[in-house]
Amino acid sequence: MATYRGIRKHQREGNQLVLKYSVLKDGIPLDPKPSQRLNNHSPDGFNWGYSGSGPAQLALALLLDVTNDPIRATGFYQLFKFDIIAHLPMAGWMMEGKAILAWLQDREARERELVRR
């Protein structure tokens, strides 16, 4: 299963120094477009470390990429954002796909348990 890494770096754009956030899947940039087709929270791409639109896009993209299942991804990405993405260190992070899948399976089990009650 893939390894994901969030990198924050300064990049010069003309006379300005701009902070850029990129997410890599096994060293290759993760494309936000598949997740943006489901729900376009952030046309500017991914972010993390708080619970806004960029983190929502990242949460959706990661769940979609790990599961390849739009229904599961859209059903749980806001919880994933609040539980995990909002708490990632701004400086950068690394996450295994199997950890994302384990989180999702745990949340799905908890949802099923709630329905049974």
Which pLDDT score, from 0 to 100, does residue 116 have?
Answer: 78
pLDDT grade for 1, boundaries at 50, 70 and 90: confident
Say whether pLDDT at 91 is over 80.
Answer: yes
For the range 47-54, what are the long-range contacts, defined as Cβ-Cβ under 8 Å and sequence gap of 24 or more? Answer: 47/21, 48/6, 48/21, 48/85, 48/86, 48/88, 48/90, 48/93, 49/86, 49/87, 49/88, 49/89, 49/90, 50/86, 51/81, 51/82, 51/85, 51/86, 54/21
The structural domain count of the chain equals 1
User: What is the value of pTM for the model shown?
Assistant: 0.92
Q: Is the pLDDT of residue 44 over 90?
A: no
Query: Percentage of the chain with pLDDT > 90?
Result: 79
Residue 82 lies in domain: 3-116
